[in-house]
Structure 1
Amino acid sequence: MKFSRTTLALAALLIAPPALIAPAAAQSLQEALAMAYANNPNLQAARAQLRAVDENVPQALSGWRPTVQVAGSVGTAQGRSTNTSTSNRTSLDRNPATLQATVSQPLYRGGRTTASVRRAENQVLAQRARLLATEQQILSDTVNAYVAVIRDQEEVRLNINNEQVLTRQLQATNERFRVGEITRTDVAQAESRLAGTRAARADAEGRLQQSRASFARLVGQPPQRLVAPQPLRVPLATAAEAGTLAGLNNPNVVAALFDEAAARDLIDVNFSSLLPQVSLNGSTFRNDNSSAPDNRVTGSQVTANLTVPLYQGGAEYAQVRQARQTAQQARQLVDDQRRQATQQATSAWETLTAARAQVESVRAQIRAAEIALDGVQREAIVGSRTTLDVLNAEQELLNARVSLVRALANVITASHSLAASVGRLTARDLSLPVQIYDMEAYYNAVRNRWAGFGDYAAQGR
């Protein structure tokens, strides 16, 4: 089971298995990430959710705007008037009709509108941060799927090569058994090792198909000829620095901060129900035949209205107390999210450091295993080593090469995980070849819109 040093270098540096991939256009990690950014359904759903939250702002701003109503009625009424002394009857049949137009302009609502607008703005900012978190999660999953396909392809290649070597070795062992150089035990050992390799190859092929399916789900098409990526270089010097930056910049932390601000604004929204309300109302009306036939009454009025709530059952006080407790809950969630982000960044840093160290150690292990295998094979020729010794040495070298493939994959995924933990795994940070989604376009299109049923989703794409 001999491998050239050139083959090993390719496996160590590139991971990619060119022998097993049909000729096709090369697909880089940047291209796969760009396709996932543009087409992934979960990311598209998160963008639609942000646009829905954007609508909270014009809803809150409506508290500054007037309301206009027109009311009318038409009907028929029948009646008779009888003079009891003369028995004369008078018909009172009529067709009453009314029409009234009312305009109401809020002047002061206890601060409800101002607080509602602040709350809606904070909700939008929190949802933008959540969209970034979703974007990072999709891109991170795509990186993992991309690297998993390359890793599993290389493991399949190594197992197929090992199976071919063991097949030839079993043939040689059978020849030596027929001439009496070795025993039946040596043949059985070679057969057992070959069967185990075939099982390992089948398992590797199954995992490769699973990785390809995950890639297709995230990106939207099956993987082509993947180009081995390089680890990200995150400008961080220590695990403590990574944890500090994550506590400030992680999208989940940012979302929690704006959630807390929105929860504090809800206190003011609920408290406004305990304060005076001032509005200006204007109306005009026309009443036809309201009390007698052929009678019309018209008029208009303008009034300033003041409402001072004194006691409304106590529910408003409970809502204020409830909002304060919700704000305390949101404040604790900020601390929890910050701790989680710090832990994730520290874990990603240590994983990356360990993976890099593992790569160097496994490379040294492979060099030693190659020398050991060559020596065992030479000693087996002169009879000082058994077939089992050769099989064990070959298996040890194979295991080391598989470990190297996995360690190199871990370096790449850990570097991207570290970038995600500090909020730096976005399409903008990665300079993906794709049009960046404009989070403010839909918001600007609907913020000051007074009316309309149009779908302005294209403004946010």
Structure 2
Amino acid sequence: MTRSHPKRPRTEHSQSSRPVVRAMLPAVFLLGLAAPAGAQTLQEALAQTYVNNPTLATARAQLRVVDENVPQALAGWRPTVTLSGSAGYAEGTIRSRSQTTSGQRIGVTTDQDRTIGTVAATVTQPLYRGGRTTASTRRAENQVLAQRARLLATEQQVLQDTVSAYVNVIRFQEEVRLNLNNAQVLQRQLDATNERFRVGEITRTDVAQAESRLAGARASRADSEGQLQNARATFQRVIGIAPARLTAPQPLQPAARNGQDAAQVAALNNPAVVAALFDEAASRDFIDVQLSALLPQASLQAQAFRNDNQQLIGQRSIGESVTATVTVPLYQGGAEYSAVRQARQDATRLRQVVDDQRRVASAQAIQAWETLVSARATVDSVRAQIRAAEIALDGVQREAVVGSRTTLDVLNAEQELLNARVSLVRALANVVTASHSLAQAVGRLTARDLALPVALYDQEAYYRAVRDRWAGLGDYSVPQPVRD
């Protein structure tokens, strides 16, 4: 926001109305003054939000959840190893015939009580799964990239919320100051009006008009104070700390030359568009995943085993085996065909989502650009309005002294000037907010783009830590150095 010093006419004012300009001028243009020592800047608030905001932390955790899809998909290439065993007790009777030395055949019954046990180690290596592993890996990687884009979208929204909360606190602080100063001025004016009424210079109507305007000023002050408390609560919710002495921020340099340029950049760079593109790519990969159920499957299995007392006491069998298995599905009820058709329709749906997101992003960029242009024009117009209102108020006050203007004329002129100053505060706040909204629309409202004084979150750190990991139950989300 820029400093503005409207020229003040050097004229004499009546004692009752002279404090109006002096009391209000510093409050209105506080947004354009230099930062006091020890004040909190918008950059510091954005950095605090980037580090501590729970919404942003949730989005980062969700990215780590999606990162795990890749090692789960890659597991399709890896062998499975199982060790199985069993133990038990069996009893039975064996009947047999034997021949004596005299040649007589007799029946022999033998009772057998035995402990049985088996143990086996099996290694199964998939050789071909119909392309499921390759397609699942591609799909998982596209899901990761889409989630990274969603994390950037969340980051941008959180930072935009921070800007809005920060600017709103300053805005309502200024409105409270303006309304407070206005109430003080109107109180002094009411006192002077009562004095003039007692000496017979004006009527009771003039006093009632001054009282009415003072009551309205007090109501406006109470309303602005309530809005300020709401803004402070929002500030603490988004940023995590209570607002202290805030420094008026400057608007960002426009991220585009015009509205059409902003729309073109947004259609390519907006995180929502990028996420939709990767979602659509993942849906195409999912078609191949479903097709794999209709293709042959091949695997190799090696096993070592030991069986004790399975049939007879003292019997033991030990061995190894290697088996190659090929399975060719012929017909499985038709569900697999339906799943392929369903995946194709979902890919068609997501292609339309990409087009929709591009249109939405372009429209948002154009709207943000036009809002910024409008807010700047409003600032220039309101500043001109303030200069004219100050001159008008000065003239009305001088004319009221000689009796050619009424008390109501003075009150109306003061109210018009107050309204103009409040409009300037709001317009300056809108310029700052709109400049950040434009950066958000084109995908440039990130901690990296804003050069925030923080250690940037590395989106790839957890992915690199778990992608090729074959085992492990630890938490690999420990902060890692940021990649340039």
Q: Normalising TM by the smaller chain, what interval? A: over 0.9
- Give distance in 2, aligned partners of 1:24 and 1:223: 15
Note the C-alpha offset of 1:87: 6.1
- Give distance in 2, aligned partners of 1:127 and 1:139: 18
Partner of 1:245: 265
Q: 1:364 aligned to 376, 380, 384, which one?
A: 384
Partner of 2:100: none
- Give distance in 2, aligned partners of 1:198 and 1:406: 20
Note the C-alpha offset of 1:12: 3.6
Q: 2:135 aligned to 92, 95, 115, which one?
A: 115
Q: Which amino acid aligns with 1:75?
A: G
**Contact conserved, 2:372 with 2:435, CA < 8 A, in 1?**
yes
Aligned to 2:303, the other structure's residue is in SS state strand
Note the C-alpha offset of 1:234: 2.2
Two-structure CA RMSD over aligned residues (Å): 1.8
Q: 1:448 to 1:459 in 2, by over 3 A?
A: farther
Partner of 2:202: 182
- Give distance in 2, aligned partners of 1:5 and 1:309: 89
**Contact conserved, 1:24 with 1:225, CA < 8 A, in 2?**
no
Q: 1:238 to 1:5 in 2, by over 3 A?
A: farther
Q: 1:204 aligned to 216, 219, 224, which one?
A: 224
**Residues 325-344 of structure 1: matches in 2 within 5 Å?**
325-344=345-364
Q: Which amino acid aligns with 1:259?
A: D
Say if 2:192 is the partner of 1:172.
yes
Q: Which moved more, 1:163-172 or 1:227-236?
A: 227-236
**Residues 56-455 of structure 1: matches in 2 within 5 Å?**
56-82=69-95, 88-455=108-475
Q: Which amino acid aligns with 1:311?
A: Y
**Contact conserved, 1:248 with 1:254, CA < 8 A, in 2?**
yes
- Give distance in 2, aligned partners of 1:83 and 1:349: 100
Note the C-alpha offset of 1:434: 0.3
Partner of 1:44: 57
TM-score for the superposition, normalised by structure 1: 0.96
**Contact conserved, 2:23 with 2:181, CA < 8 A, in 1?**
no
**Cα displacement string for residues 111-162 of structure 1 (whole angstroms, at most 9, x for unaligned residues):** 0000000000000000000000000000000000000000000000000000
Note the C-alpha offset of 1:291: 0.9
Normalized per residue, the structure richer in helix is 1
Q: 1:300 to 1:91 in 2, by over 3 A?
A: same
Note the C-alpha offset of 1:93: 1.2
Note the C-alpha offset of 1:13: 6.5
**Contact conserved, 1:15 with 1:405, CA < 8 A, in 2?**
no
- Give distance in 2, aligned partners of 1:337 and 1:327: 15
- Give distance in 1, aligned partners of 2:293 and 2:59: 34
- Give distance in 1, aligned partners of 2:394 and 2:119: 104
**Contact conserved, 1:15 with 1:150, CA < 8 A, in 2?**
no
- Give distance in 2, aligned partners of 1:64 and 1:27: 54
Q: Which amino acid aligns with 2:338?
A: A
Q: 1:6 to 1:181 in 2, by over 3 A?
A: closer
**Cα displacement string for residues 9-47 of structure 1 (whole angstroms, at most 9, x for unaligned residues):** 7734625799xxxx9831000000000000000000000
Aligned to 2:211, the other structure's residue is in SS state helix
**Contact conserved, 1:69 with 1:103, CA < 8 A, in 2?**
yes
TM-score for the superposition, normalised by structure 2: 0.92
Q: Which runs of 5+ in 1 are unaligned?
A: none
Q: 1:259 to 1:117 in 2, by over 3 A?
A: same
Partner of 2:5: none
- Give distance in 2, aligned partners of 1:104 and 1:397: 84
Q: 1:7 to 1:186 in 2, by over 3 A?
A: closer
- Give distance in 1, aligned partners of 2:213 and 2:455: 53
Note the C-alpha offset of 1:439: 0.3
Note the C-alpha offset of 1:360: 0.4
Aligned residue-pair number:
457
Note the C-alpha offset of 1:6: 10
Aligned to 1:225, the other structure's residue is in SS state coil
Note the C-alpha offset of 1:305: 1.0
Q: Which amino acid aligns with 2:86?
A: S
Note the C-alpha offset of 1:307: 0.7
**Bigger Rg, which one:** 2
**Contact conserved, 1:15 with 1:151, CA < 8 A, in 2?**
no
**Cα displacement string for residues 29-82 of structure 1 (whole angstroms, at most 9, x for unaligned residues):** 000000000000000000000000000000000000000011100000011234
**Contact conserved, 1:286 with 1:299, CA < 8 A, in 2?**
yes
Q: 1:424 to 1:237 in 2, by over 3 A?
A: same
